[in-house]
Chain A
Amino acid sequence: AQSVTQLDSQVPVFEEAPVELRCNYSSSVSVYLFWYVQYPNQGLQLLLKYLSGSTLVKGINGFEAEFNKSQTSFHLRKPSVHISDTAEYFCAVTPNSGGYQKVTFGTGTKLQVIP
């Protein structure tokens, strides 16, 4: 079974400052990793995903994440946040073993960008 830990439930940051949202996972097999964003009263939207290859993954809206296998982490970063980035961010994992595999989500991190 897989699990995802997002230790920070809320992260306040000033506009134009950098931000890092932490994600650690646990799995006995190789995994695919995802970051989704949820704006208020909306569904989840994919920011980026890691399937294979380069461990640095670039996504939409200027976000990027780095897969670190030894530390079992997939932290999300943005060098300069905007007010519009205020949302909840979910890290997710699924086994990398082909066919159907259930996606496991973390509990989310609420990013609050302060003007």
Chain B
Amino acid sequence: NAGVMQNPRHLVRRRGQEARLRCSPMKGHSHVYWYRQLPEEGLKFMVYLQKENIIDESGMPKERFSAEFPKEGPSILRIQQVVRGDSAAYFCASSPLLAGGETQYFGPGTRLLVL
């Protein structure tokens, strides 16, 4: 059973370009979470999605960031007009159930570098 997959693993963008990060949850998991990890900081929650629905986007910056989890295909985190401050590791996690104590399974992350 393949784990959570993220691609690309590394992404380099120039200021003003768009970044698209993809996440395929574990088989059978319908809940996806995105986190951002800045150097020397912990993981910060960004958004929680179920298929075709955004459930909680309270951690998403109001501008330039968007996320989707279509009926078919991976979840996408999109960052428009990237700035240097967007450089970070972005992790996706998935879980099979909604229950509060459910373990989240993490992907290997996408490391975004904005030049």
- State the A residues within 8 Å of B (CB): 4, 6, 9, 32, 34, 36, 41-46, 49, 51, 90, 94-108
Contacts and interface: CB of A to CB of B under 8 A. Distances in A.
Given A43-B91, A100-B48, A100-B56, A107 B41 contact: yes
A51 B102 CA distance: 9
Contacts of A108: 42
Given A49-B101, A98-B99, A107 B108 contact: no
A32 B41 contact: no
B109 interface: yes
A41 B99 contact: no
Contacts of A101: 100
A43 B42 contact: no
Which residue of A6, A42, A103 has the most chain B CB atoms within 10 A of its CB atom? A103
B100 A90 contact: no
Interface string B81-100: 00000000001010000111
B108 A104 contact: no
Contacts of B54: none
Nearest to B48: A100
